[in-house]
Chain A
Amino acid sequence: MELYSLTIHELRELLKKREVSALEVTKSYLERIKEVEPKIDALVTITEDFALQKAKEADEKIKKGEDTALTGIPVIIKDNISTEGIKTTCSSKMLENYIPPYNATVVEKLLEEGVIILGKSNLDEFAMGSSTENSAFKTTKNPWDLSRVPGGSSGGSAAAIAADEAAFALGSDTGGSIRQPASLCGVVGMKPTYGLVSRYGLVAFASSLDQIGPFTKDVTDCAIVLNTIIGHDPKDSTSLKIDKPDYTSYLKEDIKGLRIGVAKEFFGEGIEEGVKETVQESIKVLQNLGAEIIDISIPYVEYALPAYYIIASAEASSNLARYDGIRYGHIAEKYEDLIDMYMVTRSEGFGKEVKRRIMLGTYALSSGYYDAYYKKALKVRTLIKNDFEKAFEKCDVIIGPTSPTVAFKIGERANDPLAMYLADIYTVSVNIAGLPGISIPCGLSDGLPVGLQIIGRHFEEGKILNVAYAFEQANKFNAKPQAIGVQDNEVRSSDWLRGPCRTFDREQNLL
């Protein structure tokens, strides 16, 4: 067993007993990255020197007995989360050379615990997409099948965990951007309740929907990471003051009498037969564990996707207006005057999907259309919220598939925006209602992972973790992606992994 294949709780055991050092763990992961990265392109920046330095500091901490739950554990952070002194590109040409002078609150929290940052992961530009194909730098491949997408927008983080490039990763979820890639890559991914994790330092896509969350190898790790990253932040007005629970206390196998809602709307049109069957079998597993399965209906959920595209795009059009090249980011070289400078800068800096959403959002907010689109969508949001509230009167959690399909082929939906949007059909309603949701691997269909989504009431992450843990214990998901091996000697000797924050791009063909 290699160190890099272990979970956080397994690594912590070894570190605590001083059987391995944080430096050894870190080196193991850096080696692993060197091996698999050329195949999957999950990372935009690798922070090797920084990681090695942090590993030494972590070992000091451990030596002094000052270590906590995540000390010495390597992480990969989605590249739309600000890291001081380390490029934060959002996988956009616009921010290709942008180095934030401050850390996101979650990054501060991780660093305080002695977490080791290995690098920044690839994403759909500004987190807009469901396949990571919209990155300006590279397309991340699914470790289960390199011809397929890892999902998105946090595809880099999901693929990195599936390929054992880090012990855990952070992503962000606006309409499914953690859960959908977690599903497609066969890892655990959670979007917490809106307001549970500080958004300070997360480059905004849609402020009223965005939430940071973890990717882990199992449910226990998810609870461990959650313990660290949640909590009220005075820098984020929408972050809530709640008593911090110990999420690991919810990791129990007992779910007897728990009411699990199954909504027919989550098994509708477009769902693949293999996905449907795998999820239905999973429901049986939970039933056998003593849970009560209740049929429910969330009638307005079919309006979640169109409402989502209006709300998210409108907010994005405003959030992305600041990119004008004056204070940071790409700036045009040739232009006629000030207005032209804005137009050329922004047209050069943004990719197609980003422009499409800015256009849609600007249109939805523009004079004469606000009521018909934005306000209407906010009203539909109320209906969906009420729908879930009613459903949660009958059950404790709701389950269903995370994604209607398994990982699709690279390029398959690239030219059809609407088809791509449908990838989020089961996840967006959770963001619209601000609820917590997790995706855990529940089996394979045609050799590709299927994700089970568990949705809870606001701030009931504990209950979700309880169900997820019980399921995981009863139905161990031991399959490993086969598309990346542990061999590949040909890349060993290369020295492409130098420097504190190296950016890869397409030109550097590393394979």
Chain B
Amino acid sequence: MTTTDLGPLRESAFRFLRRKRLVSLAVPATILIYFTYIFFSFDILGLAERARMDNAVTLASDSWSYKTHVTRDNRSGELAYAIEGERKGTYPDGTRPEWVSDAGEALVIDLEDGHIITFLPDNGVSYVIPGYGTFEARLVDGRIQSNLGDTPPEWINASGTRVAITTDAGRLTMTRSKTEVFRYFPGWELFWFTLDSPYHDHGFVSLLTGPQLDPERSNLSGMWEDFWRNSMWRHADVAWAISETILMAFLGTFGGAIIALPLAFLAARNFAPLVAVRFAVRRVFDFVRGVDALIWTIVLSRAFGPGPLTGALAILVTDTGSFGKIFSEALENVDDKQIEGIQSTGASVLQRYRFGVIPQVTPVLLSQILYFFESNTRSATIIGAITGGGIGLLLTQAMQTQKDWEEVAYYITLVVLMVMLMDTLSGWLRSRLIKGKGN
């Protein structure tokens, strides 16, 4: 019977537990302290003040709806009807929306739900607002005279030179130069055809089965042409931008892989001819990776100018570094037996690499390349925003004008679809290539 003194063991066990408890307490505490610091450093409190909730509302409502403007020039009395007030969305002469009608000299605009705006002769306007009454105003000698009391409701903004009424049904603004009505509709306007196309305002089925609308072209080819050349949504340009982004990712990823493969042999321990060469090539990879795509983009865009090539080269250079590192690690893990087997048949060095090494590393390499290709599609969107190419550029431009949020929503949808498509494609290819065709 041996007696062991359990005292020190017990002591050390307790010490271990104490330390563990301390760590499990210290980690959350540190994170909490860090977040407190971030709370003040990022000025989260000030954020609430700076946030423009009205912008958020515009964005949210504008991205899925559109408005049609009915405008009267108060000097010439000319009337114009335009979707989003854009020239490209203007109704051709002699046509107008069906919710606008004449009543003698006046023009009646029906905003539905009982809201009716009437453009009266001599620069007058009246607005029947259910639950409020009738608003009337007239432009006399450059001043707007209205029937508003001293304290108009908050949704009416009125002064001597400008009146703006915003209701759920629409919006009326009157200034010295023009009187304008907005009527809102859900959806993306003129997405398929612009107003000047004969196919506008026809159902898809009736276009396919109905009579030929344009004597020059069959319905199907005409529809395609008018859709593709839609001046409002520019489908052709957008498709081109998407392919440009994918092109940047493709050229960058595969170009980088092609350059990195031979260099990786120089950087792999079991293939490098000299330790010095291996060291040097590794440092080059590290440098290229460390400089980062952002800096490469800036440096390259100075030399090559803005455009997709610059973006492709920026991805190429950065990825050469990443691929070089991954490839050389894969090469260091190859099995020597196959190479020896090939060597025993009297194969040259190149043949040894081609038949002994490459087949071993191909699955790893290909799956990495495809994985990078997919993630580079995303990067190409960002790089495109910096160098000016592809869908990234379109997206930033549409955002900076702060006007066409429905276009922004359209581009975002396309970008997400594009990335998910590449994701699926590369996943499918990877499983085919690695697990073999039988899957």
Q: Real complex partners, A and B? A: no
A residues near B (Cβ < 8 Å) are none
